[in-house]
Every structure is written in C-alpha cells, then in structure tokens.
Chain A
Amino acid sequence: KAGVTQTPRYLIKTRGQQVTLSCSPISGHRSVSWYQQTPGQGLQFLFEYFSETQRNKGNFPGRFSGRQFSNSRSEMNVSTLELGDSALYLCASSLARDREQFFGPGTRLTVL
C-alpha cells in the first residue's frame, strides 16, 4: 500500500506570493492533518480534515487555509507569504480520527 505523498517536495517563493501544497493520503484513510515544523517552534498543528470538513484548527493566521476533497486528498494554501513561513510542511493521514497517523515526507518551503 502506497504511503502518504506530498507534492511538491521543495518549493521556493518570494514574500507576498501565495502557495498551494498537496497531500494524497493512504488509500482508505479519511482523516488528513497538516503540521508546520520549524527549528524554533517544532511541530505545530495547522488543521485537521475529516470527510471534507475542517474538524480542528491550530493557532495560525487566516492566511493559512486548507480543504479536503471527496477522495480525501487535501490541499493547504498560504497567501501573502512571509519570511517566517519558511518551514517543513507535513501532512498526515489516518484511517479514522482516533487512529494513529502516518506522515508524508513533507514539503520544504523556502520564502525569500
């Protein structure tokens, strides 16, 4: 069974631009969560989607948004990029909301 895939793996943007990251969960998994990881703040929860609905949201500004499609694939969008948005963005999927999460390799975003 294929693991969680994230595209692109690496991305370089400039301040003020916007970016869309994509996550394909493991087949059959309905819950998708997104995390931001930086050296200073560690792993921080962004949001969780289940059955196309956002179930939880972390403490991030409205510039960070996401959605989930009917096939459970998910995207996250960051608008008006800031230098501080440079991070590893991780997606995780799970069979259900009370099950273990399986993480993708992440998208490394660099904002110049």
Chain B
Amino acid sequence: SQTIHQWPATLVQPVGSPLSLECTVEGTSNPNLYWYRQAAGRGLQLLFYSVGIGQISSEVPQNLSASRPQDRQFILSSKKLLLSDSGFYLCAWNGGRVVDTQYFGPGTRLTVL
C-alpha cells in the first residue's frame, strides 16, 4: 500500500531563516505530487505541483519554491522566511491520472517568529 511521509512534524523558525520541508511517497511510482498550505482558519491553498522529476508548476507567487529531485521526493524551500509563511503545510499525491483522488500526508506545522 502507498504511504506518504512528511518531516519535520513541527518547526519554529525565526524570520529571515531558510526553510526545507521534505515529503516522500512509498509504494507507487511516477506520482503527481502537491504542496498545499492551510493558514489559520482558512481552507487549503495549492502552492506547487509536479508531474515528474524536475517538473514544478507554481500556483501562486510567493516566498517559497519547490523541487523534485527524485521520483517520490518533493521538497518545499525558502531562502528567507516571512511571518506570513506560518501555517500548516501539507504534501499530497495521486496516481497521475488527470482526474484522480489526492491523498495527504500528516503535515508540518511551521511557525515563523
């Protein structure tokens, strides 16, 4: 069966510091991968998605970037964090079909102080 991992689970970072969140998927190959953010009291906002190694699409302009160095690895990064980057970050995957259910990881709670 497929499993999706995210780490770290929680992170507290000062403003201006770098960020690296990692997501890995097991039990599947060539998945579509997604990064979402849930701000306090808000819905889930799609940040990035990837349909293959090295292929990244950005949904909203922001202080973040994403990379996919391996088939089942998706990384969310920032060079300098802002207060507004605080939130709950979720990674998701699906089987790569155009219309398909997405399955989410456990999330990372990021607090920028």
Chain A bound to chain B: no
Residues of A within 8 A of B (CB): none
